[in-house]
Chains A and B, each alone.
Chain A
Amino acid sequence: MSSLARSVPFSFGRLGIVAGNTFLEAVRQKLFNFLLLLAVALVASAQLFREFNFGSSELKFIADFGFGSMVFFGSTLTIAATAQLFFSEIENRTALTLLAKPIWRTEFIFGKLLGVLAVVGVFCALTTGLLLVLLYNRETALMAANPEAFEAGRLIHYGDLVLMGVLQWLKFGVLAAITLLVASFSNTNLYTVVMGFFMLVICHLQYLARDAYSQVSALPLRLLVQGLSYVFPNFQVFNLADQIGIGQGIDPTVFLRVGAYALTYIAVFGGLAVYSFSQREI
């Protein structure tokens, strides 16, 4: 009997196996077609701006549209992939087979999360890379065409551009954890996706509650507004350089703080998803 009752400690190995399988599913289910779409959109938009003869400001337009599409497609990919990769397990009842194995639900949830993070990470790395190449090539061409605009050297801070890619990835990580929390108690994929987008908007608007609470005089309402500002993470902090790669550079200490902020939220939302999922009857 004692040989049978050996305990099963939490294992990063199993977590990694679940993550790997989740990533593989995303790849084989062709979720990465998103990337292709984005790449085409990026290259096409970069070509479009040449028509307008913006001069050196063309780089700003390319960077804005590149990052704009990355944020838009990335948010969509994150929410859709998280919901899909979670519900494919529930709806196809593969979760039943998997959780009937000696595996912790914590390993399952964090495995899923890590898998999604890997998918979104590849997305961010490739789009940032593509954007860098586009900008660098175009900047080189523009520098040759009108050197006076580039008197002080290159205009784009390529290092900041990479940091922005990392920041977006972290933001998507928090978004994935939030979506997973919703999925852990939700019954349908659609509800999860809708709630995911809803949360995305709320987290972007969280700062409005923060700003408003000092101006509200009625105490109960004030407490409610203040409470709201504490409950939701502030997604605006990830826009450290909204004017991408141009203008003021990113302060490394601020960057590190935002990184810690994101990781804390990923852990907390992931933990809550585990708690909620542990009560779910499969």
Chain B
Amino acid sequence: MPRVRTLIIGVPLCLTAVTALALWTVSRISSDKKNEMYIGSIGEPTTLNPLQAADSAAGAVTGVIFNGLLKYNADLVIEGDLAESWTMRQRSTFFFANPEEAVQAAANMEAQLVDRAALHLGKYSVDGDKLVLELTLPGVADSQKLAAMFGVAPLAAKTLGITAPKPLGDALEDFAAENPAARVVRVWTNGNLGEIVFLGDPDTVRAGLQKFLVARVGDKGLVLDDIVAPPFLAEPEVDFRLRDGVRWHDGAPFTSRDVRFTYNALMDDRVASPRKSDYELVLSLATPDERTVRVVYRRPFSPALESWMMSIMPAHLLEDLAPDQWPMKFNRAPVGTGPFKFAEWKTNQFVRVVRNDDYFRGSPHLGGIVFRVLPDPLTLRLAFETRQIDFWGVDPWAVGSFRQDDRFTLFSAPSNSYNYIGWNLRKPMFQDLRVRQALAHAVNIGQMIRYVLYGYGVQSTGIFTPEMWFFNPDIRPLAYDPQKARTLLAEAGWKPGPDGILEKDGQRFSFTLITNNGNAIRSDIATLVQADLKAIGIEVNVEMYEWAVFIKNFVNKGEFDAVVLGWALGQGFDQFQIWHSSQTGPEQLNMVAYQNPEADRLLQAIREEFDRETIIELCGELQQLIYDDQPYMFLFVPEGTSVMWKNAFRVYRPGPGGKWIDEPVTMTKAGWSHYLEWFYRPEYPPQQEN
């Protein structure tokens, strides 16, 4: 039976032979690169629709496909993108008991005005019992200074926010019409959400509105909130002048209609955009003509300007498509205005984009970019070493060896993130500031940075990180000083007990430190903290849970002693959600229940301030205040390092005054990839345009 025998030996031999041939072929395949760039990431984008995506993998891809109205330049200053220019102003409306008082107030103000420009005052006018100020810069502070000159006290306007179980429709308008005594001066409705500003007696109005709405929409899930707002109408206004001649990747012209559509989609419940909260303060968005967009806000909200870095979506493709069709029709084949056009998406493999020759700043030099999904960190490195990807975000343990290898170029900068241990301030144990300071002195953060990050990081000095434009560089980090920690704990009444663990009123100083598993840095932190605190007589039990469990069962409920976590916050100076005393409920982000009226005031002021210098000042104060309070043990800001094969790319970009600049890839404040659209491979030199 030689036939069977041949088969039994032949088949495995054949398989082996073909595989060997394949190995030989693959190793011999031309190493000449196409004119493309390859970027690897661990995660895969969930969707390429920027309205709905919240992950960084999606952000990297949509960043080259879409444009916002505004963007950051290399120094993190806001500049125009799809908008060629923009202007901001504000209308502040004060209400008086009668027209005579309004006239009187205007006259008093005029008499005391010394420097109109310093207070950004433009025109002002009296309209019945209203005094309307036109300001050239939005914000609350200027209006308050002007109001102090009135001599006559204006009526205080109060704001009530409404969350209803179903759409409100015209309910609020009807309430205003039926209850003249409430003196409603403004109504805003968006789906289930609404807001009224009124001058009447707060308690009466609240009770009346509650009763009225229960009759209209039912009481299950109806919530009325007092909203912190200035006691007058302060309505900032932003006018965007759009760039002319921009085309979508399919050739259709870009107009103000697209901006209006994007805003409407963001607010549409069916779209369920995670960015919706950035736009909830918009009162109205108007498009007087094809190249003008006018946005009016209900009150000053300075992060609003950054929110217009949001990618603008093509109205002509999406307007007539129900949002539940987007996942199939658009989200995996997006059309934008950016330097690269979407080409293909192979699930779990890669997303490829190709050059947009029609890009409004000029055609990019690269033929395309391939964003590869490589889920395993170790093989990601192998992919880099076989030149299957051009950039790699190096893990801290490998940075040293790449630094010494002159085949590579490294880009390092502190990341916009920090790690911390949050003390649950609901627990009596952590309520004493001396205890929290002692804990901070007891942990050797310098050593932690050496062991956990191999030295690639800096000690954190609070809620902002060094690369943010509003960071306060003057804060001194708390030093490692176990002796001082012991003294502080003794002052707070904690004395060593029989087993060496500190005690106070019969209670041992023992707590549970939790974190999520699957994150080596966080578990290393927990271990080191455990050891350091044991040395001063504090017992720490470390527990780790899977992420979803960790969040749902512990963090969201506020049921924990201490937690190891990190924040990655981009350039967000508005940290209201993380630190304001109103944000301590279940599922809210002030999970440690930090409450400080001064911090509340600063958080509110920062949101209402539009002047860059003043924002820096207020943020500096806030950072110092919270660092002094130590609601977290602020640990470190890791350094992010990316590595590139030496001279794999250069940058050829338009510089100031129309001159083109040819330079190596360098680190900017906005990262190494800030000029991604102008990267080129030296093998494929760009067409010189000088």
Physical interaction between A and B? no
Q: Which residues of A come within 8 Å of B, CB atoms?
A: none
